[in-house]
Amino acid sequence: MLARPDFPYRLAAIDIDDTLVGPDKQVSRENRAAIDRLQAAGCRVVLASGREHHSMAIYQQRLGLDDFVVANQGALVMHPSTGEQIWRRPVTPALAARLLERGRAEGFDVLLATDEGFVASPTSPWVVHNFAERDGTLRVHARDLDDEVTRAPLKVLWYGQTADVHAFSRLMTTELGASAEVVITTEHLLEFNAPDATKATGVAAVARHYGIAQSEVLAFGDSHNDVPMLRWAGLGVAMPHALAEAHAAADLSAPEADPNCALAVAIDLLLAGDTVSR
């Protein structure tokens, strides 16, 4: 299809899980082609995810992109090819140590996100059962967490039962207040970032770097951690299967489609100048 000649967006930020990729964690042919069309319309494309930088760089390579990636929920914005960092907001050692102690006391398996990947205790199920193998792009190292927190991790993760994740999301949001970002990323993961580390602040750093106005930024997402980005972008688009919070934060909602190519459907409607549903 031909893009409209007056396409108003110069930067598109795209979430990975359940947005760029479907349940099989693969980029569909349709989504890959739609991203190519976005670029042909003069729109830069960056990935924005809670995943670690290394994992995201693999997806970026699969798409043939060569730009910054917004990793670890916005705690790190780095260019995979050059190593240039334009945004870095780690969790302070004091807060990381506090979250490690509290998470353990509440029965969670605690992980830390670092530049080398995720760090877990040697007894963690992520290590013992090699959970990362299911994805193929994640790295999990067995290390001493008490030592690792002193190095200011990019984020702290609590892994546990769904009911506990939701209960402690509310509790810790109240308890920590403005000192941290608290977000559920999957049904078993509650994550903690520095207060100014969100997908919104990470994407904003990319926009500033290129001199792109907020109104010229597109964002696509589906989950809790996409809410700040969808709300901040000039046009936030929620996937049809997105959580209610994401739909509420977005300006538009993509029409119902196969989860493996819903992103492509939304992109092509925007490129054609059609209105995506509200």
pLDDT recorded at residue 174: 97
Q: Which of 226, 208, 200 is nearest to 86 (CA)?
A: 208
Distance of CA 94 to the CA centre of its chain: 24
Fold exhibited by the domain 11-88+197-272:
Rossmann fold (3.40.50)
Q: What dotted CATH number matches 93-193?
A: 3.30.1240.10
For the chain, give every domain's residue range: 11-88+197-272, 93-193
Q: Which of 232, 222, 241 is nearest to 198 (CA)?
A: 232
pLDDT recorded at residue 1: 42
pLDDT recorded at residue 205: 98
Output the pTM of the full model: 0.93
pLDDT recorded at residue 225: 96
Q: Which stretch of DSSP H or E encloses residue 14? A: strand 11-14
Distance of CA 64 to the CA centre of its chain: 19
pLDDT tens, per residue, the chain with 278 residues: 444 568 999 999 999 999 999 888 899 999 999 999 999 999 999 999 999 999 999 999 999 999 999 999 999 999 999 999 999 999 999 999 999 999 999 999 999 999 999 999 999 998 988 876 777 788 889 999 999 999 999 999 999 999 999 999 999 999 999 999 999 999 999 999 999 999 999 999 999 999 999 999 999 999 999 999 999 999 999 999 999 999 999 999 999 999 999 999 999 999 998 655 55
Tell me how far apart the alpha carbons of residues 5 and 177 are, in angstroms, rounded to a whole number.
Answer: 46
pLDDT recorded at residue 278: 53
Q: Which stretch of DSSP H or E encloses residue 112? A: strand 109-114
Q: Are 198 and 181 in contact (CB under 8 A)?
A: yes
Is 11-88+197-272's fold the same as 93-193's? no
